[in-house]
Structure 1
Amino acid sequence: MTFNDLNLSPAILKALSKENYTAPTPIQEQSIPAVLAGRDLLGCAQTGTGKTAAFSLPIIQLLSEQKTIPNTGRRIRSLILTPTRELAIQIADNIKAYSQYTDIRCSAIVGGVSQKVQERALNQGADIIIATPGRLIDLINQKRIDLQHVQILVLDEADRMLDMGFIHDVKRIIAKMPSKRQTLFFSATMPPEISKMIKSILVNPVKVEITPVSSTVDRIEQSIYLLENGKKQALLNDLLQDKTIASALVFTRTKRGADRVTRDLTKAGITAQAIHGNKSQNDRQHALRNFKNGATRVLVATDIAARGIDVDELSHVFNFNLPEIPETYVHRIGRTGRAGNSGIAISFCEVEELSNLKDIEKLIGKNIREIKEHPYPMRNKPVAKVAVATNAKPKASKPANARPAASQSTYAKPAAAKSDGSKAKPARKPKSEWFAKRS
Structure 2
Amino acid sequence: MNDFEKMAPALAAALAARGYETLTPVQQAMLTAEADGADLLVSAQTGSGKTVAFGIAIAPTLLRGEANLGEAGLPLALVIAPTRELALQVRRELEWLYAGAGARIGSCVGGMDMRKERRALEQGAHIVVGTPGRLRDHITRGSLDISQLRAVVLDEADEMLDLGFREDLEFILAAAPAERRTLMFSATVPKPIALLAKRFQKDARRITATSEGQQHGDIEYQLVLVAPPDRENAIINTLLYVDAQNTIVFCHTREAVKHLASRLANRGFSVVALSGELSQAERTNALQSMRDGRARVCVATDVAARGIDLPNLDLVIHADMPTNPDTLLHRSGRTGRAGRKGTCALIVPHHRRGAAARVLKLAKLEATTIAAPTSADIEARNRQRILEDPALSEAPNEEELAFVRELMEAHSAEHIAAAYLRQQLALRPAPEELADTPIAAFTQRDRNAGNFERDDRPSERFDNGVWFRVSVGRKHRAEPRWLLPMICKAGHITKREVGAIKIHEAESLVEIVTEKAEAFAAAIKKGGVIEKGVSITRVEGAPPADEPTRTGWNANKKGKFKPKAARPASAPGEGPKRIKTKPRWKNGKRP
Q: 1:153 aligns to what?
A: 152
How much has 1:44 moved relative to structure 2?
A: 0.5
Partners of 1:351 and 1:304 lie apart in 2 by 27
Contact 2:49 2:337 survives alignment (8 Å): no
Partners of 1:361 and 1:429 lie apart in 2 by 57
Q: What amino acid is aligned across from residue 216 of structure 1 in structure 2?
A: Q
Structure showing the higher helix proportion among its residues: 2
3-state SS, counterpart of residue 208 of structure 1: strand
3-state SS, counterpart of residue 294 of structure 2: coil
How much has 1:221 moved relative to structure 2?
A: 1.6
Partners of 1:143 and 1:47 lie apart in 2 by 34
Partners of 2:21 and 2:163 lie apart in 1 by 35
User: TM-score with structure 2 length normalisation?
Assistant: 0.61
Measured against aligned partners, the alpha-carbon deviations of 1:277-335 in whole angstroms (never above 9, x if no partner) come to 22111111111111012110101112222233223421111011122220221222222
Partners of 1:58 and 1:187 lie apart in 2 by 15
Partners of 1:371 and 1:157 lie apart in 2 by 33
How much has 1:62 moved relative to structure 2?
A: 2.5
3-state SS, counterpart of residue 97 of structure 1: helix
Contact 1:222 1:346 survives alignment (8 Å): yes
Asked if residue 383 in structure 1 is aligned to residue 453 in structure 2, the reply is yes
3-state SS, counterpart of residue 344 of structure 1: strand
Contact 1:46 1:212 survives alignment (8 Å): no
Asked if residue 248 in structure 1 is aligned to residue 247 in structure 2, the reply is yes
3-state SS, counterpart of residue 43 of structure 1: strand
Identify which range, 363-372 or 117-126, moves more after superposition: 363-372
Contact 2:5 2:12 survives alignment (8 Å): no
1:365-380 aligned within 5 A: 365-372=364-371, 375-376=434-435, 377=437
Asked if residue 117 in structure 1 is aligned to residue 116 in structure 2, the reply is yes
Q: 2:30 aligns to what?
A: 31
Q: What amino acid is aligned across from residue 179 of structure 1 in structure 2?
A: A
Q: 2:300 aligns to what?
A: 301
Contact 2:29 2:209 survives alignment (8 Å): no
How much has 1:110 moved relative to structure 2?
A: 0.6
Partners of 2:16 and 2:104 lie apart in 1 by 20
Q: 1:282 to 1:212 in 2, by over 3 A?
A: farther
Q: 1:103 aligns to what?
A: 102
Asked if residue 325 in structure 1 is aligned to residue 395 in structure 2, the reply is no
How much has 1:243 moved relative to structure 2?
A: 6.9
Contact 1:312 1:338 survives alignment (8 Å): no
Q: 2:267 aligns to what?
A: 268
Q: 2:86 aligns to what?
A: 87
Partners of 2:281 and 2:57 lie apart in 1 by 31
Q: 1:34 to 1:149 in 2, by over 3 A?
A: farther
Q: 2:141 aligns to what?
A: 142
Contact 2:72 2:125 survives alignment (8 Å): no
How much has 1:259 moved relative to structure 2?
A: 1.6
Q: 1:330 to 1:65 in 2, by over 3 A?
A: same
3-state SS, counterpart of residue 21 of structure 1: coil
Measured against aligned partners, the alpha-carbon deviations of 1:93-130 in whole angstroms (never above 9, x if no partner) come to 11110111223221111111211221121011011111
Q: What amino acid is aligned across from residue 149 of structure 2 in structure 1?
A: V
Q: 1:334 aligns to what?
A: 333
Q: How many residues align?
A: 394
Contact 2:291 2:311 survives alignment (8 Å): no
Contact 1:45 1:209 survives alignment (8 Å): yes
Q: 2:178 aligns to what?
A: 179
How much has 1:2 moved relative to structure 2?
A: 3.6
Contact 1:214 1:363 survives alignment (8 Å): no
Partners of 1:46 and 1:429 lie apart in 2 by 70
Q: 1:419 aligns to what?
A: none
Q: 2:356 aligns to what?
A: 357
3-state SS, counterpart of residue 42 of structure 2: strand
Partners of 2:290 and 2:578 lie apart in 1 by 86
Q: 1:202 aligns to what?
A: 201
How much has 1:245 moved relative to structure 2?
A: 2.5
Unaligned runs of 5+ in 1: 389-399, 402-411, 416-424, 433-439
Q: 1:32 to 1:340 in 2, by over 3 A?
A: same
How much has 1:137 moved relative to structure 2?
A: 1.8
Q: What amino acid is aligned across from residue 12 of structure 1 in structure 2?
A: L
Asked if residue 4 in structure 1 is aligned to residue 4 in structure 2, the reply is yes
How much has 1:378 moved relative to structure 2?
A: 9.1
3-state SS, counterpart of residue 299 of structure 1: strand
Partners of 1:281 and 1:35 lie apart in 2 by 40
Partners of 1:227 and 1:358 lie apart in 2 by 15
3-state SS, counterpart of residue 300 of structure 1: strand
User: TM-score with structure 1 length normalisation?
Assistant: 0.81
3-state SS, counterpart of residue 313 of structure 2: coil
How much has 1:225 moved relative to structure 2?
A: 1.7
Q: 1:436 aligns to what?
A: none
How much has 1:163 moved relative to structure 2?
A: 1.6
Contact 2:49 2:338 survives alignment (8 Å): no
Partners of 1:24 and 1:232 lie apart in 2 by 40
How much has 1:340 moved relative to structure 2?
A: 2.9
How much has 1:428 moved relative to structure 2?
A: 7.5
Measured against aligned partners, the alpha-carbon deviations of 1:131-174 in whole angstroms (never above 9, x if no partner) come to 10121122222221122222211111011112211122111211
Partners of 1:44 and 1:73 lie apart in 2 by 32
How much has 1:339 moved relative to structure 2?
A: 3.6
Q: 1:408 aligns to what?
A: none
Partners of 1:51 and 1:429 lie apart in 2 by 78
Q: What amino acid is aligned across from residue 234 of structure 1 in structure 2?
A: N
Q: What amino acid is aligned across from residue 121 of structure 1 in structure 2?
A: A
Partners of 2:356 and 2:453 lie apart in 1 by 15
Q: 2:236 aligns to what?
A: 237
Measured against aligned partners, the alpha-carbon deviations of 1:334-365 in whole angstroms (never above 9, x if no partner) come to 22222433211111123675454233222343
Q: 1:107 to 1:32 in 2, by over 3 A?
A: farther
Contact 1:78 1:153 survives alignment (8 Å): yes
Q: What amino acid is aligned across from residue 85 of structure 2 in structure 1?
A: E
Q: What amino acid is aligned across from residue 359 of structure 2 in structure 1?
A: I
Q: 1:281 aligns to what?
A: 280
Partners of 2:86 and 2:351 lie apart in 1 by 32
3-state SS, counterpart of residue 265 of structure 1: helix
Unaligned runs of 5+ in 2: 375-433, 441-450, 459-553, 556-569, 582-591
Q: 1:129 aligns to what?
A: 128
Partners of 1:65 and 1:285 lie apart in 2 by 36
Tell me how large the CA RMSD over aligned residues is: 3.1
Q: What amino acid is aligned across from residue 98 of structure 2 in structure 1?
A: S
Partners of 1:59 and 1:157 lie apart in 2 by 17
Partners of 2:200 and 2:299 lie apart in 1 by 37
Contact 1:319 1:347 survives alignment (8 Å): yes
**Paired-residue identity, %:** 32
Contact 2:246 2:311 survives alignment (8 Å): no
Q: 1:437 aligns to what?
A: none
1:55-70 aligned within 5 A: 55-65=54-64
Partners of 2:122 and 2:216 lie apart in 1 by 44
How much has 1:73 moved relative to structure 2?
A: 6.5
Contact 1:12 1:101 survives alignment (8 Å): yes
